[in-house]
Amino acid sequence: MPLKLNEAQKRYQTYLESNGKANATVIAYVKDVEQLAEYAAQQEKNNVDEVNYEDISQFKELLKNRRYASKSISRKINSIKSFFRYLENEGLVDQNPAQEISHPKFEQSPPRFLQKLEYRALRDTCRSDARIFAIVELLLQTGMRISELANLKMEDIDLERGVVYIQPYKSRDGRKVPLNKAAKQALINYLKVRPKAKEKHVFLTKTCRPFLVRNIRAAINRYFKLAGIQEAIVNDLRNTFIVEQLKAGTPLVYVSQLVGHKRITTTEKYLQLIDDRQEMAPEVEIEEL
């Protein structure tokens, strides 16, 4: 019996989840495949073996006509290639119709990072909010991911030694990150006013629930706006840490380890943002592990 596209989607989702893919990645990949399936259904094709190279090419052209960014189209092509590669490996299709589909050409913008005046303005704006100030300082001074910060538990923080232990999560390895004076003091100030609760997460809401990633992002975006910082996102704090470390002459391999990059080539792309190897501002000075 022919395999329906919607049934194939469910199997593919189970496959991604069983292989430890992050929840956000699973959702994105499945939605991309679902979008292709919807297009195929409009062409009266509901089975996986009915979708061919021309269908995927036309779907790609449709996305372009709908003014999807080249980067978004490329991501959807990645999802579709992964989907059909899974089906082929499982023997559910005889051949992979997405194998020869090319990615759109696009110029990848360099990572955005905050200038000194910007991160100083952000700090000044949120300084009266101990929780958000501590979050901003940790992201800015350690380069950790927002998801890693949201998952921090009280036992992961060692103020005496001045380190934070980021626990392994799915495909990511754990690591130890140093806390400099600014980050340590901001964290101490927050812990003084942190709600007294059995909840182990470091950052909590007023009702003593874990402060979720989406809420952290929304709060920082609000402070970006209040500080007059335009076109910035939370990940730019992580980018700022990387750039400032490299400006200060910190070895590339060490920076890569600090921020948890799997490939050093990921860290290398930040070198293009450095005009000269100047000293960092005191607020983000380096402390050795």
- For 135-178, write each residue's pLDDT tens digit: 999 999 999 999 999 999 999 999 999 999 998 876 788 899 99
In-domain check, residue 97: no
Is residue 201 domain-shared with residue 85, that is, in the same domain?
Answer: no
> How far apart are the C-alpha atoms of 45 and 43, rounded to whole Å?
5
* pLDDT averaged over every residue in the chain: 88
| Domain end (from 89, 107, 129) | 89
pLDDT value for 278: 45
pLDDT value for 123: 96
pLDDT value for 169: 76
Burial of 280 (0-12, 13-18, 19+ CB in 10 A): middle
pLDDT value for 289: 27
- Our count of domains for the chain comes to 2
Model confidence at 280: pLDDT above 50 = no
What pLDDT, in 10s, does the model give residues 237-267? 999 999 999 998 899 999 999 999 988 999 9
Model confidence at 121: pLDDT above 50 = yes
pLDDT value for 108: 66
| Residue 114 Ramachandran class (φ > 0 left, ψ -120 to 50 alpha, else beta) | beta
pLDDT value for 95: 85
pLDDT value for 158: 95
- Per cent of the chain over pLDDT 90 is 63
Hey, what amino acid is at 262?
K
Is residue 67 domain-shared with residue 173, that is, in the same domain?
Answer: no
Is residue 13 domain-shared with residue 153, that is, in the same domain?
Answer: no
pLDDT value for 107: 62
Hey, what amino acid is at 207?
T
pLDDT value for 172: 80
Range of the domain at 72: 5-89
C-alpha distances (whole Å) from 35 to each of 26, 31, 40, 157 are 14, 6, 9, 43
| Residue 81 Ramachandran class (φ > 0 left, ψ -120 to 50 alpha, else beta) | alpha
C-alpha distances (whole Å) from 182 to each of 115, 214, 256, 263 are 18, 25, 22, 29
CATH of the domain at 228: 1.10.443.10
> How far apart are the C-alpha atoms of 73 and 16, rounded to whole Å?
20
- Token code pair at residue 76: 């959807």
Confidence of residue 19 (pLDDT cuts 50, 70, 90): confident
What pLDDT, in 10s, does the model give residues 183-218? 999 999 999 999 988 889 999 999 999 999 999 999
> How far apart are the C-alpha atoms of 90 and 256, rounded to whole Å?
36
H helix or E strand, kind and range, residue 186: helix 181-193
50 backbone dihedrals φ, ψ, rounded to 5°: -90, -20
Is residue 147 domain-shared with residue 227, that is, in the same domain?
Answer: yes
In-domain check, residue 101: no
- Token code pair at residue 174: 């754990």
In-domain check, residue 126: yes
Model confidence at 35: pLDDT above 70 = yes
pTM of whole model > 0.75?
no
Is residue 173 domain-shared with residue 266, that is, in the same domain?
Answer: yes
Model confidence at 125: pLDDT above 50 = yes
Is residue 157 domain-shared with residue 226, that is, in the same domain?
Answer: yes
> How far apart are the C-alpha atoms of 68 and 259, rounded to whole Å?
31
Q: What is the mean pLDDT of residues 88-99?
A: 88
Those residues whose C-beta lies under 8 Å from the C-beta of residue 124, and which sit 6 or more positions away, are: 227
> How far apart are the C-alpha atoms of 235 and 111, rounded to whole Å?
9
